[in-house]
Amino acid sequence: MPTGAEPASGVRVLHMSDPQAAYSVVSGVLDVGNPEGDGYKWTTDSAQFEFMAGDLSHSSLYMHYIANGDTMRETGPLKISIDVDGKPFDSFVQADAGEHDYRHAAGAIATQPGKTLVVTVRIEPPFVAKGDGQKLGVLLQSIGFAD
């Protein structure tokens, strides 16, 4: 019988422009799965994702996003808080506009075969769109668990 880490299974990284992403985005990403455009999609002030991530002992939670300069002129620095299965995982302040890669070791996250992980990303303060009042967070390209 093989020994070692459980093989990676299921969805580990979501790309917001991939049509399949819509199946793993629970809420909070606008126009998810639409392949048109540059691959970045607006999040709302709270976005939720489901992953079948497998063993995470050598993985990091990864997120590639843009903190939009136009919206940050109104909101100022953004506090980004991340929960996994309803428990606080990490929180940080994004003070600079532009393109960013976030990584945080995920080895302490307990996983169970066949059970999804729910990752929630909250952005405070959100930008409130003038026309429709939509609360916007960041422009997200991808999120997931990377080795």
pLDDT tens per residue across span 37-84:
899 999 999 999 999 888 899 999 999 999 999 999 999 999 999 999
Q: What is the pLDDT of residue 53?
A: 83
CA 134, 100, 85, 41 torsion: positive or negative? positive
Q: Is the pLDDT of residue 10 over 70?
A: no
Percent of the chain residues past pLDDT 90, beyond the cut: 81
Q: Is the pLDDT of residue 34 over 60?
A: yes
CA 49, 50, 54, 57 torsion: positive or negative? positive
- CATH fold for the domain made of 13-146: Jelly Rolls (2.60.120)
Q: Residue ranges per domain, the chain?
A: 13-146
Residues 6+ apart with CB under 8 A from 114: 52
